[in-house]
A and B are shown apart, each in its own frame.
Chain A
Amino acid sequence: MNASQIIFYLISAFVLGTALLAVTTRKIFRSAIWLLFSLVGVAGLYFWMQVEFVAAVQIIVYVGGVVVLIIFSIFLTHHSGSELPKPPLKRTIFSILAVLLGFAFSYNLIAGYGFPTTTSEKPFVVPVSAIGEQMLDTKKYGFVLPFEVVSMLLLAAMIGCIVIAMRSIPKGKSIQKPATPISANGGTFKQVVESTKTMEEKTT
């Protein structure tokens, strides 16, 4: 057993342990932090597999983006220190049974498939330049069409998020926090918009 194998098993144990803590701990903020450790461990697995670009993307997108988003939404929706309710014993038992059964079934399939135990002779090197060239290639085996489609998907998702999360102000009601001191006592939304427009004109 050489150092690389030991590192692989250490990272795997770290990922699985923190993931298990993330789904079982009762405090939701701790759960988010354990999820963050688990995602960092997955990035470590990518580094171990020598795909540094995917590891960097994993750290940037998940650790820097998704987990921070989750933590902010926890701050917006939960009181700090409140514990999640304990799931009923019946549900826990049947979940564990279902999960163990599914795991046994899947791993039985994997073990019975007969994957090659030795890796191929060719080294697996992923230079970032190769990824970039194939990603923006318009010829055969190029990925420029999925790239454009996924960028449009991201744009649509971002606009959709803004539309969904925007606070809609009902007509005829005074807004709680006026944007300008002019409409501080009971201005309608239209007045606020107009006043902001005039303010913008003044400033420009």
Chain B
Amino acid sequence: MSAIPLTHILFVTTALFFIGMYGLFTRRNLITMLMSIELILNSVNINFVAFNKYLYPDKLNGVFFSLFIITVAAAEAAVAIAIIINLYRSHRSIDVEDTTEMRF
């Protein structure tokens, strides 16, 4: 258990973060962009728990941070999907190239 150095976990989470960034760059669909954001938030959560476990094992603050991030991510996903469905109702499309009405 303790033989894994912290940098290996950080390697995995950094890779997960940049996979999410790649999805955010290439996809032009609002739902898939939301999924990429979920991947990014998950990588940050793993980072918090790993730092808590490896550097400050007698505290619990990283666990609390990740719990609050999970809550905020759930609220964000719910609001985003409500907006996406409303947008699909009015525009018949959820492509970001079509949502140009609020662009000035």
Contacts and interface: CB of A to CB of B under 8 A. Distances in A.
Q: Do A and B bind each other?
A: yes
Interface of A: 2, 4-5, 8, 12, 15-16, 19-20, 22-24, 28, 31-32, 35, 38-39, 42, 45-46, 49-51, 53-54, 57-58, 61-62, 65-66, 69-70, 73-74, 76-77, 84-85, 87, 91-92, 94-96, 98-100, 102-103, 106-107, 110-111, 115-120, 122-124, 126, 130-131, 134-135, 143, 146, 150, 153-154, 157-158, 160-162, 164-165, 167
Contacts of A39: 38, 42
A161 B79 contact: yes
20 contacts: A23-B22, A53-B63, A57-B70, A66-B38, A69-B78, A70-B31, A70-B35, A73-B84, A73-B85, A96-B22, A106-B14, A110-B7, A115-B10, A124-B57, A126-B63, A131-B63, A146-B64, A153-B72, A157-B79, A167-B89
Given A49-B49, A119-B2, A150-B72, A157 B78 contact: yes
Contacts, number: 219
Interface of B: 1-8, 10-12, 14-23, 25-29, 31-32, 34-36, 38-39, 42, 45-46, 49-50, 52-55, 57-58, 60, 63-64, 66-68, 70-79, 81-86, 88-89, 94
Contacts of B29: 28, 84
Contact of B14 (A32, A91, A110, A135): A110
B67 A54 contact: yes
A103 B63 contact: no
Contacts of B39: 19, 22-23, 35, 38
Contacts of A65: 74, 77
* SS class, residues of chain A in contact with chain B: helix
* SS class, residues of chain B in contact with chain A: helix
B86 A8 contact: no
Contacts of A92: 26
Given A123-B57, A131-B63, 7 more contacts: A57-B70, A70-B35, A73-B31, A91-B26, A110-B14, A117-B6, A124-B57
A146 B61 CA distance: 12
A188 B89 CA distance: 21
A118 to B, nearest CB: 7
B12 A54 contact: no
Nearest to B78: A161
A66 B75 CA distance: 9
